[in-house]
Amino acid sequence: MADLSLENLLSGLEAAQQKKSKTRLSERNVVELVAKLKALGLLGEELLYTTNGKEYVTRERAVAEVKAAVRAAGGRIPLVDLPSQLGLDLVHCERAADAVVAASGGAITLSQGELFSTAYFDGLAAEVDDSLQEAGVVSVGDLARRFGLGAEMIGSVLSERVASGAVRGRMEAGVVYTQAYLARIKAQLRGALRGAVSPVPIPALVKELGIEGLASLNALVPTLIEDLTAEGSVAGKLVAGAASWVPASYVASQQDAVKRFFQQNGYIGYDTAKQYGIPAPKQFLAQHFPDGIALDSAFVSPAVVDQVEATVEEAMAGGGWCDVAPHVPSILSLGDTAALLAKCKAVAAASSGGQAQVLSGTCVVAAAMLEGIKQQLLEAARAAADEAHKAKKARGGGGGGAAAAAAAKAAAAAEASSKKAAAAADSGSDDDWDMGGKKGKKGKSGGKKGKGGGGGKAAKGGGGSSGGKAAGIQAAAAELGSSSSVLSMDSLAQRVIELHPDTEGAGADGDLPSAIASELRPPVVAEYERALHAIFTAGAEKRRRLREAAAAALDAAYERLQLYAHGAELFASDEAASATLQRHLLRGAAAECADALLRYLAADDEEAQGAGGGAEGGAPLGDAAGGALLPAQRSTVLKHLGPDVKGAATSMVDKLNGGSVEAFQAELEAAAEAAGLRLRRLDKKAERSLVFAQRKAWEAAATAAADPSALLALAVPLLLARQHGRLVSLPGRALGAGLEALRSGPGALPEEACQLLSDFHAAVVEQLKLQSGGGGAEEADELARQLEELMPRIRALAVGGGEAAGDA
């Protein structure tokens, strides 16, 4: 150093300072600098970052690197490998790869995330060619697996190479094979097909050939077979969508078999034909036997029809029946048998001419036989109608609204056959009955309207009787349904069997009897219906009259009951007299009411009437206006009543023996309601007019009365009626209480009149005592004379009123 001159050193210093300073920017600064440059637009958008963040890469550079990477990797590189190799983000790699592909003009392709160069495919094709020449066949699928490529892609690549000859072979349906290989397969096929005597399923054949794994070669097999057939190397055909091979010899033998069977048996089932391997037996048979008959399940020769026809004719001639089922091939279905029958000329002629009927599918029954059975059944139906009517009467179901309810119930519970019967009953009933029904309805509605009106009574009566009639019809219909013993299908079928035992079990399902029964049932049911109606009509008029009379009697009795009950209230304060009066009323007017109602209820029931009439000493039930019934008669009637009125009626009758008129009235009303009647309560006006009428009647009676006791019994109620405006029915024992009542209260009789009455009462009592006790004649005479004196005065008092009494 020391030898360096000062000048040198100075210039050295200069030089050192002139030297460009090595830029040592911090990373941070550089990043900023680059950012600044980008912001200024000097670098453009081309700059990419490496994944480690240490470098910037331009796009051009990235493209170049991708290209280099493809080359380095031997022409194939997955895109996902690029980021790690280039240190660039996958996105940038992809973009670069796209640019490379675009720029390469086809030399480099991007497929399924990998970059391929043409060179790579060439190499691949060469490799494939090698293995192909060695094995004779390679499947594209295998290759795709081997090279890790998509089958489609490798397929397209190979088809290109095959076309250009780089791969020597044929490519078809995903398989590349050599001509030699194809020839071998074909030869194998020829051998196998020639050897086949029965249908060979193609899959089995393929398996034999050892190419079952190669789906695409399998697909070739039908083509090859067709080739072979076309060139005449093998005889036969592919059937069922090329799924099996049927040798010609097999087809011939099969058809022979079918024909033989048909010729021998006169029929052949399609099933059988199918078993022989005829795919469309119907067409096949129709083609080979044009005169045969094609049925649904079998093909039949005309000979069978002839046979059936002969059988039928025979049966027709004998007026009997025949089942054709035994005469046709057993394999025929019911429908087929029926169809066969339809084809028989004799049968067709007979049924259209009404000489026979085909029943139960396979049975031909002569009209003569049917007619015979029908007559028998009609007879039975008439008998059944008689019985049914009797049974109905026995059940007491014919009376009034009660029966209607019962009938409705029965109808609801009836089975399907009974519905049919009811329908038949409706349609079968003649006009009279329809009218009756309508009248009944009208009557009912009229009865409702008549509430409180003057015409209520008549309307009620009409409604009651015709309602009962309508109910009777319903009951009859229900009877039809429930009389299963006579008119049900089963019993009819049973009858048929009894008449013709040979029909049992005949027919398609052994149901010939039921078929005959169902054929004949409508007329039989109609007959039954008609008979029932006839019987019913006979008794109806009488019943209606009875009912009306009974209802009128009931109304009258009820009025009386109400009047007397009202009058009895006068004695409410006198307990003993009140009880006596109540009992008296219950025995008299109340009993009349009960009897009238019972008569009404029993009107429909002849048996009950008969029972009632049979009882000794009682008034006959049939006579509505007749006298009181005996307790025995009442209980008989009650026994025959329908269940819905029975309870109410029974408790009503029970109350007769009680002590309270009011309780009886309540029960009576309940019973009447149950029977479909409506009792009319008296209003004031009606009561007054009735009281007046009764008074007049009593006055007339009093004027005519010769017996002092009778006169007294009339005079006291008459005076009471005049005084209180109420009617009182006084038993002899209560006359004293009656006198007391006359003496007190508003408008009481003058004392003299009362004294006169009580004297007369005492005299009458005395006389009665004497008569019963058998006392002295003198005393009797004395009393008679005394009474004789008093009677005109009393009569004047009773008839003339209070003023007359004063004069007497």
Partner 1 sequence: MGDQSWDPTTRATVQKIPLLTVKAGPRDKEEWQKRLKEELQALIKYIEINKAGDLDWFTIKPSNKEGTHWSGKCWYVHDLIKYEFDFQFDIPATYPATAPEIELPELEGKTAKMYRGGKICLTIHFKPLWAKNSPHFGIAHALCLGLAPWLAAEVPFLVESGAVKAKA
**Closest to partner 1 by CB, 26 or 427:** 26
408: CB partners within 8 A, 6+ apart: 474
Amino acid at 83: P
**Closest to partner 1 by CB, 6 or 416:** 6
Count the Cβ atoms, other than its own, within 10 Å of residue 316.
Answer: 23
Q: How far is the CB of 11 from partner 1 (least distance, A)?
A: 10
Q: In what order do the strands lie in the sheet with 175-177?
A: 137-139, 175-177, 170-172
Q: How far is the CB of 42 from partner 1 (least distance, A)?
A: 17
Amino acid at 421: A
Q: How far is the CB of 15 from partner 1 (least distance, A)?
A: 8
Q: How far is the CB of 20 from partner 1 (least distance, A)?
A: 8
Q: How far is the CB of 21 from partner 1 (least distance, A)?
A: 4
Q: How far is the CB of 40 from partner 1 (least distance, A)?
A: 15
The b-or-e profile of 599-636 (16+ CB within 10 A means b, else e) is: bbbbbbbbebbebbbebeebbebbebebeebbeebbeb
3-state secondary structure of 419: helix
Structure tokens at 572: 């409410």
695-698 LR contacts (CB < 8 Å, sep 24+)? 695/721, 695/722, 698/798
Q: How far is the CB of 37 from partner 1 (least distance, A)?
A: 14
Sign of CA dihedral 288, 293, 294, 297: negative
**Closest to partner 1 by CB, 37 or 240:** 37
Q: Where are the alpha helices (DSSP H) in 744-776?
A: 751-773
Structure tokens at 788: 């004789």
**Closest to partner 1 by CB, 25 or 435:** 25
**Closest to partner 1 by CB, 22 or 54:** 22
**CA–CA separation, 629 vs 618, rounded Å?**
6
**Closest to partner 1 by CB, 25 or 693:** 25
Are 93 and 66 in contact by the 8 Å Cβ rule? The answer is yes
Q: Which residues bind partner 1 (CB under 8 A)?
A: 1-2, 4, 6, 9-10, 12-14, 16-17, 19-25
**Closest to partner 1 by CB, 20 or 684:** 20
**Closest to partner 1 by CB, 5 or 352:** 5
Phi first, then psi, for residue 135 (nearest 5°) are -95, -20
**Closest to partner 1 by CB, 17 or 772:** 17
**CA–CA separation, 87 vs 101, rounded Å?**
20
Q: Where are the alpha helices (DSSP H) in 618-683?
A: 631-640, 643-656, 661-674
Structure tokens at 137: 């066949």
Q: In what order do the strands lie in the sheet with 236-239?
A: 200-201, 244-247, 236-239
Q: How far is the CB of 34 from partner 1 (least distance, A)?
A: 14
**Closest to partner 1 by CB, 5 or 772:** 5
Q: How far is the CB of 17 from partner 1 (least distance, A)?
A: 5
**CA–CA separation, 638 vs 130, rounded Å?**
118
Q: How far is the CB of 29 from partner 1 (least distance, A)?
A: 8
CA terminus-to-terminus distance, the chain:
199
21: CB partners within 8 A, 6+ apart: none
Q: How far is the CB of 91 from partner 1 (least distance, A)?
A: 33
User: Maximum Cα–Cα distance for the chain, whole Å?
Assistant: 214
**Bridge partner residues of 236 (DSSP):** 247
**Closest to partner 1 by CB, 16 or 412:** 16
